[in-house]
Amino acid sequence: MDFEIKPLDPERAASTSHDSTHRQHMRAALEMAEQALASDEVPVGCVFVHNGEIIGKGMNDTNRSLNGTRHAEFMAINSILRKHQPSIFSESDLYVTVEPCIMCASALRQFGIRAVYFGCSNDRFGGTGGVLSIHSDTGVDKPFPAYGGLFREEAIMLLRRFYVQENEKAPEPKSKKDRQLKTEVPPLP
């Protein structure tokens, strides 16, 4: 896969205290991705941060739920909305290990997210530059800034481990139908 590095916002990255905060939050997101990997889900994790505090965590859940829309972002939003009104997102930032897909990017924009920080790009479904630029296109909802490249290698390594793990699990030749399905399943959210 071809991932490209997008620099973090230089202004924010320049400040070391900011930088360490970003890294700290992305580490929390990577932990969620590890958990996803452990439960045989595509390893993508995320955290939402409000006033410096993590208000919700999510990991990809599409395989368990049999629902192709249960991406890490949605899982976290679901838990946040149990306690908060949707307006909280306009004062919150998202840290996610892989660039949000088109679906999630549109959801985040409709929720009014303040900013998105992601690890590696998503050149199959990416909605913040990977395939489309839902975050900045002309539209009725307020655009949001998206910054990529934070712990990019770690995010990619998790994905690689997932594919190795999946291949090792399936040493038996699969039926043709299964094989076809496998290639159709999006490896990324």
Question: Which residues are near Zn ion by CB under 5 A?
Answer: 71, 101, 103-104, 189
Which of 59-74 are b and which e, b meaning 16 or more Cβ less than 10 Å from the residue's Cβ?
bbbbeeeeeeebbbbb
Q: State yes or no: is 168 an active-site residue.
A: no
Structure tokens at 172: 């038996």
Interacting residues with another protein between 10 and 69 (CB under 8 A): 65-69
CB count in 10 Å sphere of residue 186: 14
Residue 143 touches which of another protein, Zn ion, none (Cβ within 5-8 Å per kind): none
Are 144 and 108 in contact by the 8 Å Cβ rule? The answer is: yes
Binds another protein by CB under 8 A, chosen from 101, 116, 150, 155: 101
Under the binding rule (CB under 8 A), the answer on residue 184 touching another protein is yes
Are 94 and 108 in contact by the 8 Å Cβ rule? The answer is: yes
Are 126 and 102 in contact by the 8 Å Cβ rule? The answer is: yes
Interacting residues with another protein between 116 and 155 (CB under 8 A): 124-125, 127, 131-132, 134, 137-141
User: In the complex, what is the shortest distance from the CB of residue 17 to another protein, in angstroms, rounded to a whole number?
Assistant: 33
Are 29 and 47 in contact by the 8 Å Cβ rule? The answer is: yes
Rule CB under 8 A: which residues touch another protein?
65-70, 74, 77-78, 81-82, 85-87, 101-107, 110-112, 124-125, 127, 131-132, 134, 137-141, 181, 184, 186
List active site positions.
73
